[in-house]
Structures are given as structure tokens and as C-alpha cells.
Structure 1
Amino acid sequence: MSTVVEVIDTAITAAEAYHRDDLAARLRQSRARALSGEVRVLVAGGFKQGKSRLVNALVGAPACPVADDTTPAKAITLRYADTAGPIGDDTGQIGLPSGILRGLTLVDSPVLEPADAILIVSDASAPYTQAELDLIDQARALAPIVVCVLSKVDLHPGWREVAERNQASTGLPVVPVSAELRWHAMATADAGVNDESGFPALTAVLRAELGAHRGTRRSAAYEVLAVTGDLTATMTGEVDGLRAEETEQLGIRWQQVLNDGITDLIADIDHDLRDRLRDVLKVAEAELDAVDPAKVGDDFAEWLRTRESRCTAETFEWMMTRARWLAGHVAEQFGDDHALPEIPDAGDLAVGDLELAAGEKFGVGQRLIVGMRGGYGGTLMIGMASTIVGVAMINPLSVGAGLLLGGKTVQEERKRLLQRRQAEAKASLRKHVDDLIFQAGKQSRDMLRGIQRTLRDHFVGHAEEVHRALVDAAAQRRTRIRDLNAELARVRDLERMARELVA
């Protein structure tokens, strides 16, 4: 079985090969600890939770400041030394002749960092908050051993319930301690009070977890497994991405987009053209209801041609805008930047003039005949009635009645002929608009089919170029996948070696 240093060295080589300098630096720290035999225990916790008091009670000396309103600005490292005092010029490292520090380094730190074990300190006033649970999760990612310490149990009678709830929420061992009882036990040499303080139990947990090089091996294995997990996730993600690229069917996709786009565009343009010209038809029919077609025929035809030309031009302009957008959308399916084919502007539609029927003329002679026919009946009817009272048939009253009825008949005939001309003009108008819709619809479809052929020929050529590039890229992807699989096998071997360290 490989030694701890050999496994770490292999992991460092792998991290450097994959350009993960952050992982390599973390492994070098672990290697330095393995060579020195140092077991590093980090003590962390929130503000005013008794963290520094715990460290002082463990080593039996006031090494760390314990003011209630301050928090250490930097980590304080405690190591074994024959005499108490700073180590070298670094005021952050203190040597103490404490038995617990033989083979063990305690670090009172305001922040979390990698270590062989981490003690999370929280007082017994209340169960863990979400912030403390998050801190414990971070500690689990940085150390193989995490122990929860419940401080100040002498001040909180309900500490047992808090300890049970904390253990249930974390699944980690919870050790209750009292720094005040520990100091009292050391001052009075009272073994019973010392046991009651909980510090012998905490020391036993640390010794059991870290003794006989077990902590060094476990810490090294933990660091290496963290690195192999990171590398495995990175390489597996790259392999999955390369395999996903091989399943893309670029050639089918762009053709579907083009065909569906042209089909939708033809339907939309036909609907838009019909809708615009039907609006023109409604307005034109309303105009004909208000005028005599025989009197405004030329002016009405010119007005109608102007409206129809504007409608068809707006539809064709929208059609070309949509066609150019479709060309760009098809180009997006290739995922590259290449020039689009030239799409010519739509030509103008030749709009014919509306031809209105001349209609039946109603001249002076016709009006005279119609008036005499209507007046004859009135004169006869009133004249017959006049003979009953002894008045001649032809009299001023009968003649006046004949003139009145004759004039009314002429007016009704004129109105009937106007309505007839309007109806004939509307019929001619509807036929004219239907013909225009047919002609404009055919022209738009022919133009769109031509655009479809232009885009198809252009993108077929581009697709062939892309296909050749994809064939080369596919070969490179397969080579890269084989290399990654080989690298994954080596990383898994390294993971197996790390697990054997603690087997």
C-alpha cells in the first residue's frame, strides 16, 4: 500500500496536470502536515460563543484573549514547547508546555480553513441557528473530522435538551463542556469537578479520532478524495458535453426551419392581403352608397387604385421584412457567422382600373313618358270622382292631381335607377377586388417560393462546408473523449489509493 506522502504527491501531480493550482496548493499544505507529523485542530465558532475560553481551558493557560466585546483579528496557533511564550517573531504562534499539545496543534481562528479536525463551538443557550448549521456544512467540506462542542453548560440548565436537538440536526457527536468548571477543577485539583466539566470527554474524543497517525492518514485521504471528486466532476461534465454535441442533427434542423418558415409566411401574407383589401372593399361600398356611380366613376376609380396600391405595397414590404428575418433565423441554426444571400426587393403589383357599368340613361324623354304614365292615372281617378258632383272630368283639380302623381312617379323611377347603378357598381367592385386578391396572392407566393429556392441553394452549400468541419470536429471529440476516459481511470485509481489509506 502506498504511503501518505506518495498518494499526496500523485494527487499534486494530477492537479497540476489539469491546471488546478488551487487544488495543488491545498494538497501541498496537507503534504507539509503529513511530513511534520503535525495534527492540526481548528477551533471555530460564532461571536461570544466561548471559543477562546475553550482553547484556554484545554491547554490550561490564558493563551487567547477572551474579552466579551472582541473577536481575534487573526488566528492564534498553539504548539507544544518546553517554555511558554511566542514562537519566533510571529506573535500569532505561541508555545506552551501543555500535555494535550504533544503531537497536536490547536488553532483559535476567526475563519474556517482546512485542518485535520475542526471543533465547532456554540453555547448551550439555544439550538443551532441556520447560520451555525451552514458553518458546520462548510467545516465538513474542509476537514474529515468535525466535532460539535456545547459550551457554557454551567449557565444553562436546559443544555441536555439543546445537545439532543443539535445532535439530531447534524448527526455529529456533541460534547458538552464548561470552561469555568475546568478552571475550578485545575485550581482545586478536583478530579470529580474536572470530569463534570466535560473536558476529559472532549480530549478522549480527539485522541480517539486523531491518535496513532489515524488522523494524519484520514486527513490526507480526505484532501485527496476532495481533489479527485472535483477532477472527476470536471472531466465527466466535459465528456457529457462532447457526447451531446455528437447527437445534434444540424442538416435536418435548418431545413425544417426554412420549410416551416416559408409555409407560415405564405399563410400570413395571404391573410394580411385579404384583410387589408377587405377593409378597402368595406370603405368603397360605403362610398358608393352615398354617391351616384355614374357621376363619380373616374374619380372613384382613381381613389380605389391609390388605396389598393398602398395596401399591396405595405403587404409586400412586410413580406420582405419577414423573409429577411427568416434568412437570419435559418443562419442561426448553424451557430456561426457567415454572409446571407441577397434577397431582392418585391416589385410593384400592377393594379387595374375599376370599370363601372354605364347603367340605364334617364333623359328628358324618358322622364316625360314616365311622368305622363303616372299622371294619367291620377287625372283619370280624380276626374271620375268629379263627374259625380256634376263637374267635368278635365278640371283644374284633376289636372293638378295628375301633375302631382306624375312628378312622384318620376322621382321613384330616378331612385330605382340610382339603386340599380349602385348595386351594379358594388358587384363590379367585389369582382375587381377578388381578381386583385388572386393576382397579388399568386405574385406573393411566387416570390416566396423563389426566396425559398435562393435560401435553400445558399444554405445547402454552407451546410456541406459545415458538415466537413463537423466530421473533423467529431474525430477530435472522439479522441478527446478517449483521452478523458483514460484520465478518469487514473483519477479513480488515485481515489482508490486514498481510500486504502483509511481502510
Structure 2
Amino acid sequence: MKEIPAEVARTREALDALLARLDPDAAARAAAPPPPRRPTVALVGAPGRGRAELLAALLGLDAAPDRDADGARRATRESVGPVPLLDELDLVVPPRAADPGTWPVDGATAALVLADAAAPLGTEELDALARAAARVDTVVLALTRTEAHRGWRTVLEADRALVAGHVPRLADAPWFPVSAALARRAAEASPEAAAALRRRSGLAALQRELHRLVARRRRMLAEANALRLLAGELDGVAARAEATRTALRAPAGEDLSRRRDELLAARSALRRDHHTRWRADLATARVAAADDLAARVRALGVAVRARIEDADRAGLAAVPRELAGEVEALAADVVGGLGARLRALVATTLAELVPAGELPALRVPDLGEPALVPAPRTRPAEDRLLVVAGASGGLGLSRLALLPLLAVPIAPAALGAALVPVSVGLGLGAAGWVARARRLAADRAHLRQWSVEALAEVRGDLERVLADALITTEREVTLALDAALEDRARDLDDALAAVRHAGADRAEADRTAARTAAEAREGRDRAEALLRRLAAWRDRVDVPVDMAEPHPRGAAAT
């Protein structure tokens, strides 16, 4: 088997030359990054899959290494110390890519893909896995947090089926159910319990597999990654050549002329139709958001005014606090409703132009903080004067109430002296009642006016927030729409060029496309066959007896 490395080098050189001749742009994309100084395993997966937690558990540390200047967490023999797993390989948690649907594996020797035991892989994760598997040949999959989900075995089998359907070459890739939490608990348990916890954590099997796949087979993994890139790009060249042949097989004569006219009409109407529809839909969303906000604010204002009319003094004191909570809930509902409406609008606008796997990268911008209710202002002096005037009126009412008694035919002096306490008591009681009634009325009027002004200010703040969100979304989606329309326009131009070329020399163009597709497929098959031989060769060499382990498919069911 010593001739295999030489054959890999010759095949790679030949396929590089073939791809450069068939499609220089594809050859540039297939340029493999330089291999790392030491074998490196990249831990990748969707957000929230616990990459740093698993890295720390694999190393037997309490926490993963800090991020370096590039934003990656790197575990090397020099940075961590005497960890057996790091004797012959490095582990790295790369920073997230700008596109959330892409996992950064370039430059890695192998990829350790993390899935969650809570639920099977989603479409976005499967698409990201397919893109990663096209750039790195050796892929190991780990199902994390098994200690928290009793049904992880069902999820594992579902994930196996999903991966086999979406990335067929990974149908037999090794899977490892693991639990970093159990490994942490083992460090604090008794020796007997610690041994059981470590077995249940599944980390030892994963460590051995990484050592077996990467450290023991380091010699040809970089070449396998380069061959994997070449195979993927050659497959794309073959697909594009077949699409050209399909266009060339369009009927000639009048049908060809009609096809050319259709393409020209589609090309001219492309940008106008999509932008017109996008602006109309955005205007509809803007009106709907404004109407929704106005209706909610009006309803809240009516409810607050009714509450003020029925409230006593304690209830009036609680109105500002209650209104603040209701405004916060209203703002969250309005902002959330606009976000959902815009996300649906983005998906509808770009559904025909952008692949479904790329839509998650188009995010509705953050809509900002909710509006705050201003505190009530101090009551004006006029309210206090009104209360004083009410008290004075109460004293006057007491005198009017005693006038009939003064008409009684008895000694005026005696009657006057007897009525003084009564007059004073009635006056004070009437004054107090009138003052309280006037103060309550003044408080209600003050809160009514304040609620109107506060809700008007809240509405203005929320209208500004919604307007900012709409402007930001319009700018970002317009840019994405323009880029997608440019791609569609290029596709139409390519199809139109193919139609025109077909009218000039259809037969020759078809023969050229067929030859290109055949050469590309032959090169892809050659790369795939060599990759299979390379994998079989790696399985037979450099694997000591004490490293032998049951296949992860069988071990996972235990």
C-alpha cells in the first residue's frame, strides 16, 4: 500500500489541471488551504450545542481555554499542558462565521459536529453539515447533553436517518452520545461513582475515536480534504454543463425565437416587478403596523380613563405604575408583531430568488428598547387653590344650613350662643368633605390629562422605533434583493446566451457541454474512488490492537 500516497499526489495534480481547464473559477474555489502544523479537529455545530463545554470535558478541565485574538478557543499541548489527547493533535472551537448557515472548517484536518439530544437536526443544520462535509473529508458526529434527555436514543436514530438522506456519504459516519455534565460530576464523586459517571458520559470512546481517526492517520487526511474539495467542484461543473445541454435542446425555429423573446421580456421586467412588489408589500406592512399601534394605544387610553373615573385615592396613586407595565407589554406586542410581519415578508419576497438554506442569514434588525411612560408632573397651584376654595364654600354652606334656626322666636343672644358649636362643627365637616371631593376630582382631572399626554409620547416613541426598523429592513432587504436579482439576471443572460449560441451552432455547443460534463463526472468519480481506497487504507494501517473499539453504531445502543 506504499504506492497510495504517490497515487494520491498524482491524482490531485491531474484533477487540479482538469478543473482549471474546465472552469478556472471553480478551480480557485477548490484551492485547499495549507494543512495545519499539527492535526487539528474543529468542533462545529449550531449555536447552543455546547462546543466549549465539550472541549473542556474532552480535556478534563473545568473550563475551556480562553479565546485568542482570532476569536477561537485553541487547545494545544503548549497552551493546555499534559493532556494525553493533545499529544498528537490539537482541538479548536472556531469563531462563528458571518453566515450562520456556514460552519468554519477550512484548515481543519477533521470536523467534530455537535448535535443536541433535545430534538433531531433541523434543515439549517443539515445544510450546514452538507457544506462542511464538502470541504473536510473526515467527519465525526456527537450527540450532546444526553443526561438531560431520556429519549436521546430516538433522537440519535432520527439524526442518523436525516444525515444519511441529506449527506449520503456520511450515512456510516461514527456517532457518539456524550455528556459533559456527567464528566464534570465524576470529578466530584466517589471513585466507584466517578467510574460509572465517566462510562455514562461517553467521552472516553470519543477521545479514542479522535485519536484513531486523526492522530493515528494524520499522514493523508490533508490530501483527502483536498480531494474532497476537488470532487465537489467537479460535480458542480458537470451539473452546470448538463444545464447548458438542457437549454441547447430547446426546439429550434419559431420555438427558439419565442424562447428568446420570453427571456428578453423576463430580463427587462425582472428588477421592476420584484422591486415594485417589495415596495408595495413594505408599504402595506408600514400601514398595518401604524394602524395596529394606534388601535392599541386608543384602547389602552379608554381603559385607563375608565379606571381613573372609578378609582379612589389609593387606586389613583397606582395608575402610573400600572400604566407603565401595560405600556411595556403593549410595546413588546407591537414590536414583536412587526418583527414577525417583516420576517414573513422577507421570506415571501426572497423565496423565489434565494435558496431556502440561505434565508436564515437575512435577519430583521433589532427593534430597540420599548418606550417608557413619563412620570406624572406635580399638580399645579390652580388645583390647590381649587381645594381651598372648596373648603371656604363648605363653611358658607354651614351658615346657610343654620339660617332657618335663626328665625325661631327666642332670645337672639341665647340662640346665637347655642348655635356657635353647631355652626363650627357643620362648617368643618362640610369644608373637609368638599375639600376631599375637590382634591379627588382634581387628582382625577390631573391623571386624565397626564395619561393623554403620556400615551401620546409613548405612541410617538413607538412610531419612531417602528419607522427605524422599517427603514433598516428596507435597506438590508433591498440590498439582498438586488444581489439576488443580479444572480437571476446572470442566469437569464446565460440562458439567453445559450439560446443565441444554439441558433448559431447548437450541435457543436451540445457536444462541447457533453464533453465537459463527461470529463467532470469522470474526474469526480476518480476522486471519490480514491477517497474510498484511502479510507479503507487508513482503516487497515496504524491502528494498534489496544485501540480497537466496537463501531460507534453498535456502542450507541448500550
Question: Same fold per TM (> 0.5)?
Answer: no
TM-score by length of 1: 0.44
TM-score by length of 2: 0.40
**RCO higher in structure (CA 8 A, sep ≥6):** 2
